[in-house]
Amino acid sequence: MSRMNALPGVPRWAAVAAHAVPLLVLPAGLWRLALAFGIPVAAHSPYSDPGPGMLAYMIGLTVLSELLALLTLGLVRDWGEVFPEWLPLVGGRPVGVRAATGAALAGAAGLLAAGGWSGYAVYAGLGEGDGTELTAAQDALFLGCYLPLAAWPVLLGAVAVAYHRRRAGRAR
């Protein structure tokens, strides 16, 4: 198996973990989009017929989540060491090790604090709830789509530490 286009010196486990993150985030986004577009992933939900604002929110959250998940790849690829040329102001400049590591670890902490559990908290009836009802099959689908999100902050944190060790060690 190839190193998935990871840089030399990137541990194999880190490359696999970085590539897994966007795939783990994808099912929750697909579940959200299915709900937004009326696919019966829930027996009854206030989101089943969303207005334009809620639809935009659900699409936006899905796209934003996936883009943030894809940023994990920067911790194992060359664009995580040197900004791509097409970026204004910073293109071609080196990525700061502390800045990249700090941003990744802050993201992992934020996901642990809020992001990874918010969908499950609503589903489990923690807090106010949203009135969504699920059959047993829909419940299994929901859990299959949302539980992988629990791995996102763990994998992101581990890959960020590997990135820092690799880059900081090279700078010495």
30-58 residue pLDDT tens: 988 888 887 777 655 555 666 788 888 88
Q: What is the pTM of this model?
A: 0.83
Name the residue ranges covered by the structural domains of the chain. 12-171
The pLDDT, as a whole number, for residue 1 is 40
Q: Report how far residue 81's alpha carbon sits from residue 162's, in angstroms, rounded to the nearest whole number.
A: 13
Contact 51, 152 (CB under 8 A): no
Q: At what angle do helices 97-110 and 151-171 cross, to 10 degrees?
A: 170
pLDDT in tens, 16-35: 999 999 999 999 999 888 88
pLDDT in tens, 81-96: 999 999 999 999 999 9
Query: Which residue type is seen at 97?
Result: V
Q: Which of 41-45, 117-121, 126-130, 139-143 has the least mean pLDDT?
A: 126-130
Please name which of 116, 126, 131 lies closest in space to residue 49, comparing C-alpha atoms. Answer: 131
Q: What is the CA radius of gyration of the chain?
A: 18
Q: State percent of the chain over pLDDT 70.
A: 79
